[in-house]
Amino acid sequence: TDVVTQENLAAMEFRNYIPKDEKILRSSALYKLSAEDEWQERKVIVSHEKLFFTYINSQVLVDQIPLHEIVKVTKLEPGTRLKINMKKAYTAQQQEHGFEIHTSVEGYNSGRLYLIKTATEPTAEEWVSFLKVEVKRAIKTFTKITLIQEYQSFARRIINHGAFQFVVTILIFANFLANVIQVQIHREDYLFWVLDVFFTTAFSLELAINLFAHWLRPFFYDAWNTFDLIVVTVSIVSLATQDSVPGLNSLRTLRAFRVLRLIGRLKSLREVINALSAAMIPVLNAFLLVALVTSIYAILGVDFFQKRENGGDLFGTFTISLFTMFQLTTFDGWASGLAEPIFSEKALVTEEEHAQAGTSPECDGEYRVLPDTFVILFFISFIVIVVWTLLPVVVAVLLDNFIESTTQSKKRARLIREKANAPMPDPMDPLLQALTNWETNHDLSHRILALYSSLDPDNTNAIDFQQFLEGLKKLNFQPAIHLTEEDCERITDRNRLCNADKTISPGQ
């Protein structure tokens, strides 16, 4: 009817077209992977600011991507997505060629991943190279990147390059080996001075590039960068003040700490240090308990053994007594060196005792040992409580937290890998997850009506695609929902679930 025709024409006003003033840089008919895992032929058009998807032989927009919001463009390697829900569209046997477009999570496309298929591999490589150049130009234009920022980006690429990191690692190993050889042969000749200057210069240059690339807060945000800055600065000061400023020559001994810079570059060492750091607080709490109990025994030792013979040497003051108890935890000569000198009191051996023992009277003046039960209980209780019980608890706490930290680290790495190999998420997943927490059918219906009310603030009881899209954007789902007209057609079963004017009512 005429009314339906007018409503359809009104609905068509919401359809977007490519702006007529857009200067087209490149266009081609390619295949885009849909949410239904089907390759759909679409026309891909690139302008100075955006990448458009349209139907073949049509100017109606299916989707668009702002070029400055493209995070990464990579070549689609055959077989890399064999384990996800695209098997019927993309398998290793098909040997498809194409490329991936990763968008910004905070941008217009809400982090959506686009998979594009080309006819040949050279075509895919041409598109990847072309898009990388245009994306870089668009980012520079949109964000108004200065010349210094361009140089900083170039410096970051150098710093993060695998070959550069490998060279720095080799230099650190070589510097450590030179230090070992120098202290082994006890030589301070010209050769080692030249090596010291070379390594200090190389590390200073690497630090300067890193500092320039991540100026300023990003540099100090990384603790390993701060450690590198301290080590290199100390090396420069010790080298510059050599034999000129008294007392600063001792700084040269800190050169040995340069090898610790490897921790920030080797992933395995970094994981160990991070795990130990995570376990530090629980271990310190356990150590505090050990220190308190040991201090209590140190105070008791001063009170009970200070006035005994040889007691002043072991328990004369609190600090001496505390060191004695620490020595006891190591079992370093604790019986002969610690317990025995105060283990007993000495008394003169009388003639009667000689007669009973059958010893010679000429031994008059010798001393006999009188055992002290309190001393026995003191040392044995300390060994049982501290050495056998509390110290193993410290080790157990360390191992437990270390294992937990490494497990969490592996779990995060696994989640990252699973996310990289996960199926292409459906744009409606955040909304569907919010609706799945229903308890009864009435609760689900109430949630759906509440959702529709938020999408229809004017209470017109009829929303079109544009209103539906804008309403979802305002709901602030994480990640944000980005729908194309193709998605809307899929959701509505090719518009079969819509009204004649392609709107949606509450009942639908």
pLDDT number for residue 361: 47
| 305 three-class SS | helix
Identify whether the C-beta of residue 209 lies closer than 8 Å to the C-beta of residue 158. Answer: yes
Structure tokens belonging to residue 151:
């140089």
**Cα diameter, the chain:** 139
Tell me which DSSP letter residue 266 carries.
-
φ, ψ of residue 39 to 5 degrees: the values are -80, 120
pLDDT tens-digit series, residues 463-485 = 877 777 767 776 667 667 777 77
Return the pLDDT at 428: 75
The residue assigned the tokens 């050769």 is 191
Backbone CA torsion sign across 482, 484, 488, 493: negative
Spans of the chain below 50 pLDDT: 1-15, 80-93, 347-348, 360-365, 367-370
pLDDT of residue 357: 56
CB 45 within 8 A of CB 27: yes
* Residues 6+ away with beta carbon under 8 Å from 424: 33, 35, 37, 84, 85, 86, 113, 115
CA angle, residues 83, 84, 90, in degrees to nearest 5:
90
Amino acid at 46: V
Q: How far apart are CA 16 and CA 19, in angstroms?
A: 9
The model's pTM is 0.55
131: phi > 0 → left, psi -120 to 50 → alpha, else beta; which?
Answer: alpha
The strand ranges marked E within 328-480 are: 344-348, 367-371
Asked if residue 86 lies in contact with residue 37, where contact means CB atoms within 8 angstroms, the answer is yes
3-state DSSP assignment of residue 379: helix
pLDDT of the residue at 88 = 42
* Cis peptide bond upstream of 391, omega within 30: no
Name the burial class of residue 409, with classes exposed (0-12), middle (13-18) and buried (19+) by CB atoms within 10 angstroms of its CB: middle
C-alpha pair distances (Å), 246 with each of 221, 251, 257: 35, 11, 22
**Quick one: which H or E segment has residue 378?**
helix 373-382
| Residue 45 φ/ψ, nearest 5 degrees | -125, 130
CB distance 271 to 407 below 8 Å:
no
pLDDT score at 92: 41
What secondary structure, in 3-state letters, does 489-500 show?
A: HHHCCCCCCCCC
| Type of residue numbered 202 | A
Q: How far apart are CA 463 and CA 93, in angstroms?
A: 44
